Structures are given as structure tokens and as C-alpha cells.
A and B are shown apart, each in its own frame.
Chain A
Amino acid sequence: MEDNGDGHKMQVNNLTMYYGDFKALDDVSLDFASRHITALIGPSGCGKSTLVRCLNRMNDLIDGSKVEGEISLDGENILGPGYDVISLRRRVGMVFQRPNPFPKSIYENVAYGPRLVGIKNKEKLDSIVEDSLKRAALWDEVKKILDRSGQSLSGGQQQRLCIARVIAVQPEVILFDEPCSAIDPISTQKIEDLMAELKKNFTMVIVTHNMQQAARVSDYTAFMLVEEQGQPGRIVEFGDTNTMFTNPSDKRTENYITGRFG
């Protein structure tokens, strides 16, 4: 897989994370290549979601959470004091496990982000909404019903709406936290196809417990584990996806992968 020339968009260095007294991640280091898809796989509870939520500092919202180490975006440490978290979240967007459109119209859902940054001009908003919905492969299905509530769509459509919503903010990185686990298989397929398209413009990180998905979609994969219950999550192996799935270096990776494919 050739490097697109932009290097690493985000880098995690020696990240340790606590929820109160509980250590959730231990000394995690990882790179996210620009305009490529990196997948995080591993069994339930291994800390993949926790790691990904550190990347846009959503864990800040949880009382008692604490981070040590460094996470850099374009070379700048986002954990540094005084770093503008709000603008971070505009540059690093997130799609959640369960689709969570606002109880507003489809149009307003997508327009929410642009409005936040002060865009008021109706034409500009219209074009952003259309563009975002097109890129989320949802435009044709909703272009006549933009006024209807976002929550009246099917599950798969709602998730694509959430993707459109994120795209409208024009982020540089998009984080997907198990985006298809609550979606039917056909919509899942649509979203996976979507991701291949989006890769051209965005750096993407996807957390998934579906290994076929990781193998199909991603360029790089990181495998995470907890030794036993109560232990923090760690990275076991990280590398090019093809290599990981055909010839993993670590025995534990091999066990996990063959256990599923088996």
C-alpha cells in the first residue's frame, strides 16, 4: 500500500488512559496514515472504542477520565494544555455505533455543523447539504423529503445521514465506532462501499468486531487485547491489513483471526 505522500495524519504515542482508578488503556502507540483506512479490531472490552474516543477527546465528557501520553494531529499534540478541543472535533469527526440523528429534519441535521461555524447563507447551506448527502450516498433517497424528520428514516439510512452530518463539517479525519453493528447487512454493504469512496478525501479510523469487514475495507489494521478482565487494553500487533490477515506475526493475533474465520 503506497503512502499518499501526506505521511501520518494522526499519531498516538504511549497513550495511557484511566476512568477514575481503572486503567483502560496501557501504553498504546499507533499511527494513522493520511487518506487511508485503519481498522481497530479485537474482542469486546479490549479498549478499541476507548482509544478511538480519545482521538477526538470525547472521553473528556466522562467524569474522572484521565489521559497520559501524546496524541498528535498534523504534528500538534491535541492533549496539550490550552488545545482548542472544539476545533479538534470539527477536524476529527465521529460516527457512532447507534445512529443518533437529531429530532430535526434531514436538512437541519446536516446543516447543524455548518451553522455552528457561522454559515447562514441559504444557498451555501443548500449546496453543502446536497453535497454531503451525495457523498454519503443518501441524496437520491431523501432529496424529495428533506423536511421530514431524520428519525423517520430506516436504520441504515439514519447512519448514512449521520455520516453526511459529519461530512458537512468538512473534517480531515472521520472516526467510525462500530458503525454497522446496529445496521442490517444490506445497508452495511452500502456503508462499506461508501467508505471506499470517502477514503479519497478523508483519513479514516474504523472500530469493528466484524473481521471480514476489517479485511474488506481497511488498509491498515491494529489488533488489541486485554490479558484478562480488569486489565488495560494494549496493542498486540499493527500493520498492513493483507499481511495481518494472511501472515500475522503474533500468535495471539493468529488465534483471534483464525478463531473467527475458522
Chain B
Amino acid sequence: MDARKTDRIATVIFWAIGILALGILAFIVIEIFVRGLMTAINPSFFAGKPEALQPGGGIGPMIVSTIYLAFLTMLIALPISIGAAIYMSEFAHEGRFTRFIRFCLDSLGTVPSIVFAIFGMTLFLFYLDWRTCLLAGALTMALLNLPVLLRSTEEALRLVPVTYREASMSLGASRWTTVRKVVMPTAMPGIITGTILPLGRIMGESAVVIFTVGVFVRSIPLSPFDPAAPLAGYIWYVQSEAIVPDYRTIVNGGAAVLLILLFLINFGARRLSAYYSKRKSLGG
């Protein structure tokens, strides 16, 4: 029958699509690893100092910059997004204000990262006369990730059963006390899991760091006001300037390191959420 035949063809096509999707991922990862894995796991590479002109440079300070920046960004972004999420979920009534804020958040979420980058550059480097530094990048990145963090925190808060809040308030606790002592502790696992993926985004972001943090440093940045060179930006810089003779090796190696870093984060996030849901089902 014609319908059955079409169904069979469709099934084949869908399988092909599914395999293609996986295949694309596999292809990219394999190609990068084939070219860069050996370099990536070489200690003189991932812990070594970079070279501006000579071959053989490493990416030690870049890795530190990446982690430092991610940490700083979260330090700024988390309290704000958690505070805002608590307001939206626990204190505000759904109305014009909350709808307006959600609109602002959605808008913030669609602004291209390059626009954030030049905004950050203009504000911090030109108006405030800073030099390219971690803090400028962290502040800009915090804005960039605000919508994502706020949404995941709000999700986690909403999953807390209403009846806990009722019980707490009926015992004479104020809203804030209820949030602090009952809602937040219950929602914390979800909130934490929700911050892991943005962490990955922050580490992979290049446009913002190029314009606000820096693309090359010789030594490990120490203070938030030091210039730094997060890995994603450095890779772009090396491949676009192509000054050092072994730039391909460096880029391949750097890309592999980035992939490893991000896979670890992804894996860690999954483990964390599995751990928390296991604890929950045991009545913890």
C-alpha cells in the first residue's frame, strides 16, 4: 500500500537524519581531537607559557584566565540572578511589572554577543578608562548570562511545592524567612545544576573576551584588574594573526583543550543532577 511504503521511506529518512546529527558531532570532535589531542595533553603545552613570535608556545596562562574569568563572572552574576529570580517567583505578583521584566530579559537574551562585547568595550575601556581586564569581561559576561541564569533559577524555585511555603507561613514565618529557610535550601540543587551549563558557555565565549579582557598575556593574571587571555579568545587571535610558525598546532591543541574542558563540565552537570535526584527519591 502506498501509505505503508511512504511510511517506510519516511522512517529511513528519519533514521538518516538522526544519524547525521550524531555524525556531525562525531565528525567535528574526532577531527579536532585527531589534530590536537596530542598537543593538548602535553604538559609543556597546557601548562607552558605562550610565545608571541617563536614556535613552541603553551597556553598555561590562558587556561588560568578562562577559569578565573568564569569564576569572577559567576561571583557577579549569581547573586543578582538569584535575587531577581527570588523576587519574580516569591514576592512579585504576576502583572505588568513581571511581564515587562520578562520582556527585558528575553530581549537581553537575543542581543548578539558581539554587541555585548562592544558595549562592554565602550563602557569599561573608553568611558571608565580601564584597560582590558578580567573584571571588565566578567561584568559584561554577567550581563550576557543573566537571562539564562535567571530562568534556570526560577525553574528551580517553581519546583518547590507550594505546600512547603504554606506550612512555613502558617507557623508564623515571614515571606523572606520562608524563602531563606525552606524554599532556597530545597531549590538549591536545581539552582546549582542550572549554573553548570552557563559555566560552559562562559568558557567558550570569544567575542566578549577579545574586546574586554585581552588576547595575549605572558604570565598568569593575578588581580581582576589584570589583563588576561581566556582560551577561546586566544585561539581566535592565534588563527587570525597567524604570526607564529606553529599556529596551527597551537590552535588545534587549544581547541582540543577547550573541548575537553567543556565535555568535563557537561559530564559533571549530568552527574550532579543525577546525584541530586537520587537523593531526593530516597527522601533526603
Contact = CB atoms under 8 A, between A and B. Distances in A.
State if A and B touch, Cβ cutoff 8 Å.
yes
Contacts of A88: 172
Given A116-B177, A149-B284, A100 B171 contact: no
Interface stretch (A15-23, A91-99, A249-257): A91-99
B172 A98 contact: no
Q: Is the interface of B mostly helix, strand, loop or mixed?
A: helix
B181 A93 contact: no
B89 interface: no
B175 to A, nearest CB: 9
Given A63-B93, A116-B177, A152-B283, A58 B166 contact: yes
A113 B172 contact: yes
B9 interface: no
B170 A56 contact: yes
Contacts of A183: none
B186 interface: yes
B167 interface: yes
Contacts of B185: 103-104
Interface in B161-199: 161, 163-164, 166-174, 177, 181-182, 185-186
Contacts of A103: 164, 185-186, 284
B172 A169 contact: yes
Interface in B247-283: 283
Contacts of A100: 161, 163-164, 166-167
B170 A58 contact: yes
> In this complex, which of B93, B171, B181, B283 has the most chain A Cβ atoms within 10 angstroms of its Cβ?
B171
A201 interface: no
Nearest to A115: B181
Interface string B149-170: 0000000000001011011111
Contacts of A116: 171-173, 177
Contacts of B284: 103, 149
A112 B172 CA distance: 10
Interface in A91-131: 93-94, 96, 98, 100-104, 112-113, 116-117
Contacts of B182: 102
A112 B173 CA distance: 9
Given A93-B170, A152-B283, A98 B163 contact: yes
Nearest to B181: A112
B170 A94 contact: yes
A89 B163 contact: no
A129 to B, nearest CB: 14
Contacts of B168: 102, 112
Contacts of B93: 63
Nearest to B173: A116
B166 A96 contact: yes
Interface in A49-103: 56, 58, 61, 63, 86-90, 93-94, 96, 98, 100-103
Contacts of A58: 166, 169-170
Contacts of A166: 171
A113 B171 contact: yes
> In this complex, which of B170, B186, B284 has the most chain A Cβ atoms within 10 angstroms of its Cβ?
B170
A61 B171 contact: no
Contact of A89 (B161, B170, B186, B283): B170
A154 B236 CA distance: 60
A165 interface: yes
A93 to B, nearest CB: 7
A14 B161 CA distance: 34
Contact of B167 (A63, A87, A152, A162): A162
A88 B161 CA distance: 24
A213 interface: no
A130 to B, nearest CB: 19
A29 interface: no
A210 to B, nearest CB: 22
A86 B171 CA distance: 8
A187 interface: no
Contacts of A87: 172
A98 to B, nearest CB: 7
22 contacts: A56-B170, A58-B166, A61-B166, A61-B169, A86-B173, A86-B174, A87-B172, A93-B170, A96-B163, A96-B167, A98-B163, A100-B163, A101-B167, A102-B168, A102-B182, A103-B284, A112-B168, A112-B173, A116-B172, A151-B283, A165-B167, A165-B171
Interface of B: 93, 161, 163-164, 166-174, 177, 181-182, 185-186, 283-284
Which 7 residue pairs spanning A and B have beta carbons closest together? A90-B172, A89-B172, A152-B283, A100-B163, A94-B170, A100-B167, A149-B283
